């Protein structure tokens, strides 16, 4: 099975829920953004699934809303939970 490598960086409450700043994952080729979110929820079941529901994602520095988008090898994904502020 062909795989790709994806670097995931966590910020704010996502960092706390994942217990780390970043991680590298080996995923099946043709994994989508939705598939990545499901894998992250599986790997960090305690707090990350809820955060992922509301979090914004950056794919190689660009906001991604289309969860059917296929990830490419060496992609970088930032998990940005909603921030309170004012």
The tokens describing 49, both together, are: 């699934």
Question: For 26, which DSSP code?
Answer: E
Q: How confident is the model at residue 85 (pLDDT cuts 50, 70, 90)?
A: low
Q: How confident is the model at residue 84 (pLDDT cuts 50, 70, 90)?
A: low
Q: What is the pLDDT of residue 1?
A: 81
Q: What is the pLDDT of residue 82?
A: 83
pLDDT tens digits, one per residue of 17-73: 999 999 999 999 999 999 999 999 999 999 999 999 999 999 999 999 999 999 999
Query: Own/partner pairs for 62-66, CB < 8 Å, 24+ apart?
Result: 64/33, 66/33
Q: How confident is the model at residue 9 (pLDDT cuts 50, 70, 90)?
A: very high
Q: What is the pLDDT of residue 74?
A: 98
């Amino acid at each position: 099975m062909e795989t790709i490598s994806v670097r995931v960086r966590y910020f704010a409450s996502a960092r706390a829920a994942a217990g780390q700043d970043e991680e590298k994952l080996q995923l099946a080729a043709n994994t989508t953004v939705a598939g990545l979110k499901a894998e992250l929820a599986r790997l960090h079941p305690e707090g990350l699934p809820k955060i992922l529901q509301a979090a914004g994602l950056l794919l190689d520095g660009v906001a991604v809303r289309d969860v059917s988008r296929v990830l490419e090898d060496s992609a970088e994904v930032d998990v940005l939970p909603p921030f309170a502020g004012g």
